[in-house]
Amino acid sequence: MAYDGKIMRRALARYEEDKQRRQESCQARRRAVYARVPRIGEIERELQGTMSRIIASALKRGTDPVPAIRVIRDRNLDLQRERAELLTQHGYPLDYLEEKPNCPLCGDSGYRQGAPCRCLQEYYAQEQIRELSRLLDMGKQSFDTFDFKWYSDRIFPDQEVSPRSNMEHNFDECRDYAYQFGPRSGNLLLCGEPGLGKTFLSACIARVVSEAGFSVVYDTAAHIFTQFENAKFHRESDYDADPESDVNRCLQCDLLIMDDLGTEMTTAFVQSTLYQIINTRLLTGKKTIINSNLNPDQIGVRYSAQILSRVEGEYEILPFFGEDIRKLKREQM
């Protein structure tokens, strides 16, 4: 599973902030208990310092530290019993002063066996949802809120099925793709006129795949091409502080969703970049979803026969047709 470096840095920052807050909360509990029961504070300080002092003293004299350790062990047991009695007498749980890790699997290190622990993966998923929400309405766009009422059940003259039947098929394909996403998943081309639900279903996929812990980049084709251009010619912009990093994100993420392909100004650089993205991700086994107002033949004419060949050979093509939903909603307002 690939992790987006920019998103992981944010996740780690929040992870450390929350860990720091828990530590500060524990220290605040300790101060409150020490103020109320000073003897507990004295016991805590003695437990922390006596062992090191006795061992250091024994080693300094060149004597065997084992007898000293036995003495301090017995003393510490007495102190621990006294502390427990005092805590109970004053209504505190026995573990009230303990600083327990929030995650027992990694001890709040964030990593387990050299890989991000499940607890850190949850932070990563949350940060990725925040990133995706910059472009998408992640609060409303989900498979549960999809409404088929905007699609006619009348069969159009140039189609074999109605827009509703077609959309039910596309919906099922996208939902299965999202919930079954993994290394064996394929690639999707969602194509058709504007306002038919391509972006909505792509956002639904992005949400589910992100929540499963995979890295997802969702961006418009025009902006992606700009990132590649900035990186190639070493340009900087206010929006893209590190275009090289953004290029790597597009090429290396588990799922790239490229929206609105065909609305950008098509140049030789754009054609070359699109081929690079599609070909590189196919060769590395990374998954891609492309949304476009163009049909496959139009994509071949605008970009190249090589790109069309890869799309037709490696992508599942889901055509969208019907009436513009945005227009229908405006008419009912």
User: pLDDT tens digits, residue range 282-311?
Assistant: 999 999 999 999 999 999 999 999 999 999
107 lies in some domain: no
Q: Are residues 66 and 168 in the same domain?
A: no
CB 285 within 8 Å of CB 314: no
Q: Are residues 85 and 139 in the same domain?
A: no
Q: Are residues 78 and 165 in the same domain?
A: no
| pLDDT exceeds 90 at position 231 | no
First-to-last alpha carbon distance for the chain, in angstroms, is 45
Residue-range definition of the domain harbouring residue 246: 133-332
Please indicate, yes or no, whether the overall pTM of this predicted structure exceeds 0.75. Answer: no
Q: Are residues 71 and 173 in the same domain?
A: no
15 lies in some domain: yes
pLDDT band at 60 (very low <50, low <70, confident <90, very high): low
Q: Are residues 161 and 228 in the same domain?
A: yes
121 lies in some domain: no
| pLDDT exceeds 80 at position 168 | yes
| pLDDT exceeds 50 at position 100 | yes
Percentage of residues of the chain with pLDDT beyond 70: 90
pLDDT confidence of residue 238: 47
324 lies in some domain: yes
CB 208 within 8 Å of CB 179: yes
User: Closest Cα to residue 181, out of 285, 313, 311, 260?
Assistant: 285
User: Closest Cα to residue 263, out of 171, 167, 178, 198?
Assistant: 198
pLDDT confidence of residue 185: 95
Give the total number of structural domains in the chain: 2
Q: Are residues 41 and 150 in the same domain?
A: no
pLDDT confidence of residue 53: 64
Q: Are residues 316 and 171 in the same domain?
A: yes
Of 224 and 72, which is predicted with more confidence?
Answer: 224
Q: Are residues 77 and 166 in the same domain?
A: no
